[in-house]
Amino acid sequence: MCMQLNPKYKTIFKEALEISSLKPTKQREHIFSLILNKKDHPTADEIFTRSRETMPSISLATVYNCLETLVESGLIRQVNFERESTRYCPNLKPHAHFHCKKTGAICDVDLPVSIFNSLKKHLPKNFQPEQIDINFNGSIHKTKNH
Partner DNA sequence: AAGTGTAATTAGAATAATTCTAAATTAATT
Partner DNA sequence: AATTAATTTAGAATTATTCTAATTACACTT
Judged by the rule CB under 8 A, the positions of this chain that interact with a copy of itself are 78, 80, 82-83, 86, 96, 98, 101, 107, 109-112, 115, 118-119, 122-123, 126-143
Contact 70, 25 (CB under 8 A): no
Instruction: Give which of a copy of itself, Zn ion, DNA, none residue 89 binds (C-beta under 5 to 8 Å, depending on kind).
Output: Zn ion
How far, CA to CA in Å, does 64 sit from each of 29, 75, 118?
A: 14, 15, 35
The SS3 call for residue 49 is helix
**At CA 96, angle to CA 14 and CA 73, rounded to 5?**
20
Among 2, 23, 103, 136, interactor with DNA by CB under 7 A: 23
Among 15, 18, 53, 68, interactor with DNA by CB under 7 A: 68
Shortest gap between Cβ of 123 and DNA (angstroms)?
26
Least Cα distance to 35 among 27, 110, 94 occurs for 27
Q: If 0-12 CB within 10 Å is exposed, 13-18 middle and 19+ buried, where does residue 17 land? A: buried
Instruction: Give which of DNA, Zn ion, a copy of itself, none residue 107 binds (C-beta under 5 to 8 Å, depending on kind).
Output: a copy of itself
Instruction: Give which of Zn ion, a copy of itself, DNA, none residue 12 binds (C-beta under 5 to 8 Å, depending on kind).
Output: none
Q: Is 33 in the site for DNA (CB under 7 A)?
A: no
Instruction: Give which of DNA, a copy of itself, Zn ion, none residue 49 binds (C-beta under 5 to 8 Å, depending on kind).
Output: none
Q: Taking the CA of residue 20 as centre, how many other CA atoms within 13 Å lie in the half-sphere pointing to its CB? A: 14
Q: Is 72 in the site for DNA (CB under 7 A)?
A: no
Please say which residue, 18 or 84, places its beta carbon nearer to a copy of itself.
84
Compute φ and ψ for 79, nearest 5 degrees: -130, 130
